[in-house]
A and B are shown apart, each in its own frame.
Chain A
Amino acid sequence: MINEKADKRSRKFREIDQFDLNEQPQYYLLPFRFHRITDDKEIIVNEVGDYLLLSNGTFERIVKRQLDKKKDADLYGDLIANFFISEEPIPPLIDVLATRYRTKKLFLNYFTGLHIFVISLRCEHTCHYCQVSRVTQNKDLYDMSIANIDKGIDIMFKSPNPHVTMEFQGGESLLAFDNIKYAVEKAERIAKEVGKGLTKVICSNLALINEEILEYCKEHEILISTSLDGPQYVHDNNRHKPHASSYELAIKGIELSRKVLGHDRVSALMTTTKLSLDYPVEIVDEYFRLGFQGIFLRNISPYGFALRTDKSKYETEKFLTFYKKALDRILEYNFSGHYFTEDLAKIFLTKILTPFNVGFVDLQSPAGLINGVIVFNYDGGVYATDESRMLAEQKDYTFKLGTLDDNYNDLFFGKKAQEIANVWANEALSGCSECAFQQYCGADPVHNHATQGDMYGYRPNSDFCQKNMEIIRYLIELMESDSRIKKIFERWAKTSTH
């Protein structure tokens, strides 16, 4: 009976061929780029970071218009569905692509969020790689003055961002804890008045932390960020503290902070040094043992070294070997059911696997300096990034935007800012503009300047490029060759966006 009914209609069913909107063999290319992943696989990446992994030579066939809609039906469908090719000069879903592009650049919407206050340059440590801190009692010279704190807060609240973050750095910030208290309370008052969100972070080596300070942090919902380079023999070698173990103080500080503030209110950052390179597994194990949810494997800071070319290439190789060994170890933990992330990978994976993005100063384009982060130095200088003010300690003022006495527009939109803005989008940098990983990577004018002598940078021997390109390639190779790793990576990517 049902059949009869259906048959009576003029609504006769048609075959799939009749729904082909493009009977010509012609198709149009949308913007996308390619890269070799392994000996037999290549990747194509579209304008919003979606990728397809293909066997070698496919890219060439696509651009030479050699695809056959019938014989290559699956691939053809993938290319249309994922915005690589179009059957019309303007794809019917171009508005969807535009929305997705905006989503990827959403980090630009609010302008500067992170405001770093270098509250004191003084430090009780004498770390050998540190180029900035001073062991001194001279507060007048090396602490940020109340007047400058006021001006910094004033500028911070001029940001159009509805939520600002105030981060206290050093030297050792806790040496100027009274000033921190002053700054926190003043900022809180204003935030309430103007209706902005305010996050507060203290960066400290925790040697001076105590219950009283922590109670204050608890009351004012201040987050703690500390440094931990790995197990004791690595950490204490990196971070020299006269007559004491920096490691033991840090561990004690972390425990106490967690006790008072709660486990997830305390984070740790590692610095990779030459010594660290020999201990990838041990460093990961240390972070795992201490109950952290992950670790950020950061490359060796180039600041304080002379301009680097060939030497840096070698050093980057070593870092990459270190990175891969450490990542292997991290994956082992995940295989056995733990959730433990590598945070550099997490940033890349969020860009690779999700429609979202994360703002991270040198892994975004336009880069996050000025429009994502700004640094107010202890002496009233205003710098584009934390690294910029370290260059200044070596008398290189390239990224000094002005001082706290300047007005907002001159600092954020002045000549210096404009000059930097010319080179902060990797879409417009040679090398990057054709790179398949452009959407996953970023631009770092400060790093280019520090290592290569000019902000624009030269990709073929840039250690920044060498490192990012290999890590991204490696992450893709890993997850495309092992579905267990893909699942783990998808999970990491997901948790950074939701």
Chain B
Amino acid sequence: MLLRTKGKPINIKSALVGKVTRNPERLDENSFLLVEGSISELPSKNFIGILSRQDEYEVINSENIVFKIPTLEHLMEGDIVSVGIDGNINTLYRVNSFHNTLLATERCNSNCLMCSQPPKDKNDINNLYEINKKLIPLIPKDCIELGISGGEPTLMGDLFFDLLSQIKTELPDTEIHLLTNGRTFAWDYMAERLGEIDNKRLMLGIPVYSDYYQVHDYIVQAENAFYQTILGLHNLARYNQRLEVRIVLHKQSIPRLTRLAKYIYKNLPFVEHVAFMGLEYIGYTPHNIEKLWIDPYEYRDELGEAVEYLAGQGMHVSIYNTPLCILPENQWKFARKSISDWKNDYLPICSTCTKLNDCGGLFTWNLKKHSEHIKPIH
């Protein structure tokens, strides 16, 4: 799935955000016109600019234009893009997807061994905030779910709360799923501020990888991270925030997994959802694969025990990113088709599997690193 493209910019002085349309009739002050061939005359309406595939372009009336774009095929009517001064065109929101995510920042105070989107240490907070601020009002009000991820979104500081307030105002009916490591909420006032925003549709997904601090801190490569995250979860619970615990399954987290399940029930019984997630072969993971890889088939007993225990205590549990053929049948009910459409794929042998439609399959990037035990179910 193509999410970014690039052309030659003219007249673009700052990052622009708008919807795309191929129909000049639908143009308004928040949209770009997509053009395949040449145009001789500008639409008479107010609009942001033109995105064109033409190899040459004559500016007609000092309009904003990006031309010589290799393809526009990936853009659907109503998709929202940002257009940079360098001519980069990034798809920010896809109308036909249930998996839209706002990028808050690429900075992070942790550095997880298996991070799928490794952090960058440049200050992108203001730029991204400005883009998101323009994006949010354009998102259709009937958007069902919207993710917010990073990096670590809370590093935005005050802007983090501004962003969430704006979302609550603009998208009151949208489920918001925020991925954060939760460490910042070890400071009570941060949790309190979030509580004040009082968005019942906000759910925070927070990773806890072990019940023992040293293992967790090692996995996230940050001292004191475990204690901060657990305190953060407690503070957030105090302000009635909805919480999800996320556990990535790999060689470092598996040995204490069943203990972690107990720990969650005993110390975090207020969390609404616990997600056990298969490892993604992208980001840092290939680099750290020696430290991380364990065939999912090898940990199925531990996973089964942890999942059954928590579910038995009445907690809501899911297994993500794990093919059905790896799981015993009695755990299929916990497996979710969790992988976003644009990064989802199957192996050639899957084509003969009777469970193909129910199975969540693999991350595209896991096609090169997957369980040895994938075999079609007949």
Contact of A498 with B287 at beta-carbon distance under 8 Å, contacts A9-B118, A19-B218, A81-B212 already known: no
A21 pairs with B213, CB closer than 8 A? yes
Contact of A2 with B266 at beta-carbon distance under 8 Å, contacts A16-B215, A96-B231 already known: no
Whether A77 sits at the interface, judged by CB under 8 Å, is yes
A contact set with B: CB distance below 8 Å: 2-3, 5-7, 9-11, 13-16, 18-21, 50, 77-78, 80-82, 92-93, 95-96, 99-100, 354-356, 487, 490-491, 494, 498
A2 pairs with B111, CB closer than 8 A? no
State the CA gap A258–B288 with chains docked (Å): 64
State the CA gap A20–B213 with chains docked (Å): 9
Contact of A95 with B234 at beta-carbon distance under 8 Å, contacts A7-B287, A11-B111 already known: yes
Whether B160 sits at the interface, judged by CB under 8 Å, is no
B212 pairs with A92, CB closer than 8 A? no
Whether B313 sits at the interface, judged by CB under 8 Å, is yes
State the CA gap A356–B313 with chains docked (Å): 12
State the CA gap A498–B313 with chains docked (Å): 9
Residue of A whose beta carbon sits closest to that of B217: A19
Contact of A92 with B227 at beta-carbon distance under 8 Å, contacts A19-B217, A81-B212 already known: yes
State the CA gap A10–B122 with chains docked (Å): 12
Q: Which of B118, B119, B215, B312 contacts A487, CB < 8 Å?
A: B312
A355 pairs with B267, CB closer than 8 A? yes
Which residues in B have their C-beta under 8 angstroms from that of A99? 234
A77 pairs with B212, CB closer than 8 A? yes
B4 CB to nearest A CB, Å: 16
Which residues in A have their C-beta under 8 angstroms from that of B215? 16, 77
B211 pairs with A490, CB closer than 8 A? no
Which residues in A have their C-beta under 8 angstroms from that of B256? 77
B287 pairs with A78, CB closer than 8 A? no
B282 pairs with A16, CB closer than 8 A? no
A6 pairs with B227, CB closer than 8 A? no
A20 pairs with B214, CB closer than 8 A? yes
State the CA gap A95–B235 with chains docked (Å): 10
Residue of A whose beta carbon sits closest to that of B216: A19
State the CA gap A6–B121 with chains docked (Å): 12
A355 pairs with B283, CB closer than 8 A? no
Which residues in B have their C-beta under 8 angstroms from that of A77? 211-212, 214-215, 256, 259
Q: Which 9 pairs of residues, A with B, have the shortest CB-CB distance?
A: A77-B212, A19-B217, A81-B211, A16-B218, A92-B227, A6-B287, A19-B218, A498-B314, A11-B111
Instruction: Give 16 A-B contacts (CB < 8 Å), ordered by A residue.
Output: A7-B287, A9-B121, A11-B121, A13-B288, A14-B221, A20-B214, A21-B223, A77-B256, A81-B263, A93-B227, A93-B230, A96-B234, A355-B266, A494-B312, A494-B313, A494-B314
State the CA gap A81–B309 with chains docked (Å): 18
* Interface SS of chain B: loop
Contact of A19 with B266 at beta-carbon distance under 8 Å, contacts A96-B234, A99-B234 already known: no
Which residues in A have their C-beta under 8 angstroms from that of B286? 2-3
B308-321 CB mask vs A (1 if < 8 Å, else 0) is 01001110000000
Residue of A whose beta carbon sits closest to that of B119: A11
Contacts between chains A and B (CB distance < 8 A), count: 93
Whether B269 sits at the interface, judged by CB under 8 Å, is yes
Whether B169 sits at the interface, judged by CB under 8 Å, is no
Residue of B whose beta carbon sits closest to that of A356: B269
Whether B48 sits at the interface, judged by CB under 8 Å, is no
Residue of B whose beta carbon sits closest to that of A100: B267
Which residues in A have their C-beta under 8 angstroms from that of B66? none
Residue of B whose beta carbon sits closest to that of A15: B218
Contact of A6 with B118 at beta-carbon distance under 8 Å, contacts A96-B230, A355-B266 already known: yes
Whether B265 sits at the interface, judged by CB under 8 Å, is yes
State the CA gap A100–B268 with chains docked (Å): 10
Residue of A whose beta carbon sits closest to that of B211: A81
Which residues in A have their C-beta under 8 angstroms from that of B221? 11, 13-14
Which residues in B have their C-beta under 8 angstroms from that of A490? 309, 312-313
Whether B297 sits at the interface, judged by CB under 8 Å, is no
Whether B161 sits at the interface, judged by CB under 8 Å, is no
Which residues in B have their C-beta under 8 angstroms from that of A494? 312-314
A21 pairs with B287, CB closer than 8 A? no
A491 pairs with B312, CB closer than 8 A? yes
Which residues in B have their C-beta under 8 angstroms from that of A20? 214
Which residues in A have their C-beta under 8 angstroms from that of B267? 96, 100, 355
A50 pairs with B227, CB closer than 8 A? no
A346 CB to nearest B CB, Å: 15
Whether B284 sits at the interface, judged by CB under 8 Å, is yes
Which residues in A have their C-beta under 8 angstroms from that of B111? 11, 13
Which residues in B have their C-beta under 8 angstroms from that of A14? 218, 221
Whether B354 sits at the interface, judged by CB under 8 Å, is no
A6 pairs with B312, CB closer than 8 A? no
Whether B224 sits at the interface, judged by CB under 8 Å, is yes
Whether B171 sits at the interface, judged by CB under 8 Å, is no
A97 CB to nearest B CB, Å: 9
Residue of A whose beta carbon sits closest to that of B255: A74
Whether B113 sits at the interface, judged by CB under 8 Å, is yes
Which residues in B have their C-beta under 8 angstroms from that of A498? 314
State the CA gap A3–B287 with chains docked (Å): 6
Q: Which of A2, A16, A356 contacts B287, CB < 8 Å?
A: A2
